[in-house]
A and B are shown apart, each in its own frame.
Chain A
Amino acid sequence: MNCHDVQENLPLLTYGDLSAGEQAACDEHLAGCENCRTARERLERLQQVLEQRPLVEVDPALLAEARMSLDEALDRQQHGWRALWQNGLPILRFQPASGFALALTLVICGFGLGWGLRPHAGRLIDGVAGANTADVANPDLENMRISGISRIAPDPKTGGVKITMDAERRVTLEGSLDDPRIQQVLVYAVKSYDNPGIRRDTLDALRDHADNPAIRQALIYAMRHDANAGVRLEVLGALSSMQASDDVRGALLDALEHDDNAGVRVAAVDALIDHAEKEGCDAPTALALQHLASTDSNPYVRMKCTNAMMRFGK
């Protein structure tokens, strides 16, 4: 190796990223060349300077914000025109010939169908219109294949709720929140539905009915398992307004100790403080606050826990 080769390899030499052979050749040259030794020393000093650049630590709140925005953007992707283009019409994108054939077939079928149905058109349209607009007052949920929920809205007049679902056909289920069938759909929506927006609407509808054991269990389930931090925050809002039963307190403590989103943990501390103010601070809560006051990764959570302990004289 000559001086040029060695100096070109110096950065990799200092990073330890040379092969054994290259390393040996460099070392051999450096042992006898003062110029290259000086160049290496200069480079090592430069790397020491570069090490002084502060290492960026990712703030948990920033990471949570990034995740939530990405979640929302992915939702928009999944249900937008792009999704239809990507999932629904791949044949048109990638195989122009097949796409043309498909389009031609559709046109021919359309004409054929129109011609064939021409004498009965009035009857057909009547029938379709009737089927599409009719609400189903008492749908048979046991035997209905539900493919999605498109809207959940509380009805302020009746105090009930209106659920619009896609099944064999779109149906609207309307009734009181005490109706077990309504509860069944809402609990399904909270626990299993993949659209976080619908899950949040559902929580809005359930918020004031958490005294019902099935609904309370669904909320606690969502608190522990929902992937979307925004939804978990909504659940926390609902749980914090409830009486502090053991299961509710357990879910709040779980959120405080294990949730990876700092915003959710802060809301959990607030909810626990609310409960403790009304009913006293129990031992598990005090223990968790004490533990997290010194160990939580987020300084704001630590401060909240410390303040809470001082407030309750722990």
Chain B
Amino acid sequence: MEIAGKASAQPSPTSDLNELLLIRQAQEGDRSAFDTLVRLYDQNVLRLTLQVVGSPEEALDLYQEAFLKVYRSIRHFRREAKFSTWLYRVVMNVCLDHLRRQKTRKEVAAPQPENGETEFLQTVPDDRPGLDPERATHSKEIGRRIQLALGRLNPRERMVFELKHYQGLKLRAIGEICKTSEQTVKNCLFRATQKLRVELGDLA
């Protein structure tokens, strides 16, 4: 499975055979094999968690929680799915739990930055050449609106949309990650798109 279609792929692609060997060694308790597996995927995992939660502190917590879960349960991994699919299932469940907790805490729609506080995604520099200050401000405003609109999706729609639109995963891969049918993913994606169209209709 392609893990990060749109984002830059993790360096050091390892062959399936090597990965299989690493998984087997990690299942036998070899910590350095587990570390190597982590390094194959952790950049993309951190990128995904950053994209989902917005704040580096929370992203670090989710990153750690996900890999600790993988460490504790890797001995139960039976190779029925690809390791990357299984790993992303764990990451997605951790992110979903986080989004649900966040939703419960702030039932009032999307996470709004506190007074004067800057949201992480707004601090990501936009290095595209030729942007004048006015355009840059406009672009920042659009970024903020998109983030708010994504925050209004329910957790499952949000994750499916992130994996499809921003990570570029195929429908089947998302279905495997979510342990659900392609049709369910398709419906979820459709609902997410409809909601985004309502939220961002004036920009489109």
Contact = CB atoms under 8 A, between A and B. Distances in A.
Report whether chain A binds chain B. yes
Interface of A: 8-12, 15, 17, 42-43, 45-50, 52-59, 62-63, 65-67, 69-71, 73-74, 77-78, 82, 86-87, 194, 227
A12 B71 contact: no
B43 to A, nearest CB: 5
Contacts of B200: 46, 49-50
Nearest to B139: A52
Nearest to B200: A49
Contacts of B96: none
B193 A78 contact: no
A132 B59 CA distance: 47
B-side interface mostly = helix
B42 interface: yes
Nearest to A82: B72
5 smallest beta-carbon distances between A and B, as pairs: A45-B204, A54-B124, A46-B204, A53-B146, A56-B50
B68 interface: yes
Contact of B42 (A12, A45, A66): A66
A1 B43 CA distance: 42
A148 to B, nearest CB: 14
B86 interface: no
A54 B50 CA distance: 12
Interface stretch (B16-24, B30-38, B87-95, B101-109): B30-38
Interface string B69-88: 00110000000000000000
Contacts of B179: none
Contact of B60 (A56, A66, A77): A66
Contact of B29 (A9, A63, A65, A87): A87
B156 interface: no
